[in-house]
Amino acid sequence: MTIEERGLSVILLGPPGVGKGTQGAILADSFGWERIVTGDLLRAARREGTELGRKAQRYMDAGDLVPDGLIVALVRERLQQLPEDRGIVFDGFPRTVAQAEALAIALPELGREIDAVLLLEAPDEVLVKRISGRRSCPQCGRVFNVHFDPPISEAICDECGARLDHRKDDQPETVRHRLAVYRRETEPLVEHYGRQLGAVLRVDGVGSLDEVAAGVQRALNTHLELEAQA
């Protein structure tokens, strides 16, 4: 059975700016999978002025994690909306052991399980440069980078012509705090999933978009081949 047909559930782990969003979008496009991107769901809730958006705002602006209860409810709701047979890439979730435990309960209720956890890795100086150059379109969601993938016209989205955003939590001070929060709250998931699944698939996040995407595909294919032989 091909990766497309299997409808896998894959978690993308990694520090801020490593390329989870970029690679998650490539995986979803390549295989027709759905994406659950908690950062995007929260930013949409903020734009729409919902109660969740209002509650999440101060945590996000400070670079802190939004409380687990709010996030788990959001992901559970989103999971219910997805077609049963479609693969899913989780990007930015889970981010704490408590979130991982909640996902381990929610997925089997839907007849799913976690098939693979991919960890994208890059040194802090690469992350800081990528984040400082990121510009996102609030309208169509396309992400640019002024250093690596600039828009044709500065500050304007090539796709839809909207004015591009520089995320408030992408300021250098907040980025340093987000990295510290990642090390404290999210990095323990590498050991957690290593124990639970036997392996976390490490992928070098340094390189061009295509090189990193090829690393992701290789890691996933090798993992699935080994599983099939077991």
134: annotated active-site residue: yes
178: annotated active-site residue: yes
Q: Which residues bind ligand AP5 (CB under 6 A)?
A: 14, 16-22, 38-39, 42, 59-60, 63-66, 71, 92-93, 95, 99, 130-131, 133-134, 143, 145, 148-149, 169, 178, 207-209, 212
Cβ nearer to ligand AP5, comparing 151 with 224:
151
- E strands present in 104-150: 116-121, 134-136, 143-145
Task: Please identify the residue of the shown chain whose CB is closest to the bound ligand AP5.
Answer: 39
Phi-psi region of 69 (alpha: psi -120 to 50; beta: other; left: phi over 0): alpha
The 8-class DSSP code of residue 54 comes to: H
Tell me how far, at minimum, the Cβ of 136 lies from ligand AP5, in Å.
Answer: 8
Alpha-carbon distance of 126 to 116, in angstroms, equals 25
> Cα(first)–Cα(last) distance of the chain, in Å?
16
Pick the catalytic residue from 55, 142, 167, 202.
Answer: 167
Tell me how far, at minimum, the Cβ of 87 lies from ligand AP5, in Å.
Answer: 19
183: annotated active-site residue: no
Tell me how far, at minimum, the Cβ of 143 lies from ligand AP5, in Å.
Answer: 5
Pick the catalytic residue from 43, 95, 112, 130.
Answer: 95
- State how far the alpha carbon of 67 is from the alpha carbons of 32, 60, 94, 198, 205, in Å: 31, 11, 12, 28, 28
Cβ nearer to ligand AP5, comparing 6 with 147:
147
Nearest of 158, 159, 156, 131 to residue 145 by alpha carbon: 131
